[in-house]
Amino acid sequence: MLPDPLGLIRDAADGAERLGRVLIGQPRIRLAVTGLTRAGKTVFLTSLLANLLAAGRGHRTLPALESAAGGRLRAVRPVPAGIEGLPRFDVSAHLAALAADPPAWPARTEDLSTLALTLELDRAGMLGGLLGRRLLTLELLDYPGEWLLDLPMLGQGYAAWSAAALARLRRGAAAEAVGAFLAFAGALPQEAPAEDSLIRRGHGLYRAALLACRDQLGYRFLQPGRVLNPGPRGETPVFWFFPLPHPVRGDLAALMARRHAAYVEAQRVEFFEPFFRRFDRQAVLVDVLGALHAGPAAFADTAEAIAAIAGALRYGGGWLDRLTGAGVARVAFVATKADHVPARQRDALAALLGHLVAAPQERVGTAGVATSVHTLASIRCTEDAVATLEGRPVAAVRGVLPGGRVAKVYPGEIPLRPPEPGFWEHGFFEMPEFQPPRLDPAGAAGVPHLGLDALLAALIGDVL
Alpha-carbon distance of 217 to 226, in angstroms, equals 19
In CATH, 5-105+110-143+279-380+439-463 is 1.10.1740: no
CB 429 within 8 A of CB 40: no
Domain range list for the chain: 5-105+110-143+279-380+439-463, 151-270
- Between strands 281-286 and 330-335, the pairing is parallel
What is the DSSP code (8-state) at residue 273? Answer: I
Separation CA 293–CA 430 (nearest Å): 7
- Of 287, 265, 269, 169, the C-alpha closest to 217 is 169
SS3 386: strand
The identity of residue 89, as a single letter, is F
Cα separation, 258 vs 434, in Å, equals 46
Q: How far apart are CA 333 and CA 421, in angstroms?
A: 25
Whole-angstrom distance, CA of residue 271 vs CA of residue 112: 10
User: What is the residue-level pLDDT of the chain in tens, covering all 464 positions?
Assistant: 444 544 444 444 444 444 444 444 579 999 999 999 899 999 999 999 999 999 999 999 999 999 999 999 999 999 998 877 889 999 999 999 999 999 999 988 878 899 999 999 999 865 556 667 899 999 999 998 888 899 889 888 999 999 999 999 998 877 899 999 999 999 999 999 999 999 999 999 999 999 999 999 999 999 999 999 887 777 889 999 999 998 888 999 999 999 999 999 999 998 888 887 788 999 999 999 999 998 999 999 999 999 888 776 644 445 555 555 555 778 899 999 999 999 999 999 999 999 998 754 454 444 556 789 999 999 999 999 999 988 999 999 999 999 899 999 998 889 999 999 888 887 666 788 999 999 988 888 999 999 999 999 999 999 99
Task: Give the three-class secondary structure for 444.
Answer: coil
Sign of CA dihedral 234, 235, 238, 243: positive
- Which pLDDT does position 54 carry in this prediction? 96
**Is the sign of the CA dihedral 279, 283, 286, 288 positive or negative?**
positive
Q: Which residues pair with 137 in a beta bridge?
A: 28, 118
- Which pLDDT score, from 0 to 100, does residue 368 have? 55
The span from the CA of 384 to the CA of 439, in Å, is: 20
Q: What gap in Å lies between CA 81 and CA 437, rounded to an integer?
A: 30
CA-to-CA dists, residue 143 to 31, 401, 404, angstroms: 11, 29, 33
Query: Is pTM beyond 0.75 here?
Result: yes
Residue 393: burial class (beta carbons within 10 Å; 0-12, 13-18, 19+): exposed
Beta bridge partners of 30: 139
- ∠ CA 218-147-363, nearest 5°, is 90
Angstrom distance (rounded) from CA 300 to CA 353: 13
Side-chain half-sphere CA neighbours of 395 within 13 A: 12
Whether the CA torsion 332, 339, 61, 445 is positive or negative: it is: positive
Q: Strand ranges (DSSP E) for 190-296?
A: 281-286
- Beta-bridge partner residues of 286: 335
Measured CA to CA, the distance from residue 291 to residue 424 in angstroms comes to 12
Instruction: Please report, as a single letter, which amino acid is at residue 195.
Output: E
Return all residues near 165 (Cβ < 8 A) that are at least 6 apart: 223, 243
* Residue 375 contacts residue 44 (beta carbons within 8 Å): no
The alpha helices in 24-141, defined as continuous H runs, are 41-56, 63-68, 91-98, 128-131
CA distances from 247 to 84, 190, 192 (A): 48, 6, 10
For CA atoms 51, 340, 417, 216, the dihedral sign is negative
Strands (E), 312-439: 330-335, 370-375, 382-389, 392-400, 406-409
Q: CB-based contacts of 372: which residues, under 8 Å, 6+ apart?
A: 330, 331, 332, 333, 455, 458
Three-class SS state of 81: coil
Q: Give how far Cα 402 sits from Cα of 106, 244, 348, 368, 399, Å.
A: 14, 43, 28, 45, 10
Q: What is the per-residue pLDDT for 317?
A: 43
Contact indicator for 247, 189 with CB cutoff of 8 Å: no
